[in-house]
Amino acid sequence: MNIKRFVQDTAEWEAERIIMKRYRCPHCLAPGTLISHGRLYGYQFRNHSNRVLRGFRLFCSNRYRRKGCGRTFSVWLAWKLYRSLLNAMDVWRFICGLLDGQAPQTIARHMMINTSNASAYRLCARLKRAQFGLRTILQGLSSVSAIHRSLPWPWLLPYDHLRQLHPDDAIQWLQYQFQKSFFLPSTGTA
């Protein structure tokens, strides 16, 4: 059994902790070696002085004759995005704005997430790269119907499909449902 890489909230994490010994280490696959190794905090763009819980750290124990590999990895809260101060809901709102034909800078300004043009376009570039992982996921979901409509950029097409499938907070849903990082297509060690 594989340990979850994304959980919805602290309560779900606490439930996972109780049965942690059943899981194998994602690095070395040793069973029963994982132990809790603290919490991960970070800052959010709206309030840099406000520390928020973002995830949990695990250690594959090689101490006291345990046969683990000594490496650590993280289990994230599902709203947390890899290497981003924006949360999943912010990015989803940004994507919906693009799908509705708004300019990246206009959306960013309305959301008060960042006023620089460069940041809004950097986010677009990340989304453009992330579409490849998204396409792979969508291929496995037969319920997506192809609706032909004009989009500002062709790479938005998988996002349009995603919105049909899951109109609300789809990025968080995606990370949790598929246990995959949206901005990092693999389940990697980050």
Closest distance of CB 86 from Zn ion, Å: 31
Residues that bind Zn ion (CB under 5 A): 25, 27-28, 60, 68-69
Q: Which is nearer to Zn ion, 73 or 183 (CB)?
A: 73
Order of all β-strands in the sheet with 47-60: 6-7, 72-77, 47-60, 34-44
Q: Which is nearer to Zn ion, 62 or 102 (CB)?
A: 62
Closest distance of CB 99 from Zn ion, Å: 41
How far apart are alpha carbons 5 and 146 in whole angstroms? 31
Closest distance of CB 18 from Zn ion, Å: 20
How far apart are alpha carbons 155 and 137 in whole angstroms? 15
Q: Which is nearer to Zn ion, 28 or 99 (CB)?
A: 28
How far apart are alpha carbons 145 and 60 in whole angstroms? 43
Exposure b/e, 131-168, CB count within 10 A at least 16 = b: bebbeebbeeeeeeeeeeeeeeeebbbbbbbbbebbee
Q: Which is nearer to Zn ion, 28 or 96 (CB)?
A: 28
Closest distance of CB 73 from Zn ion, Å: 9
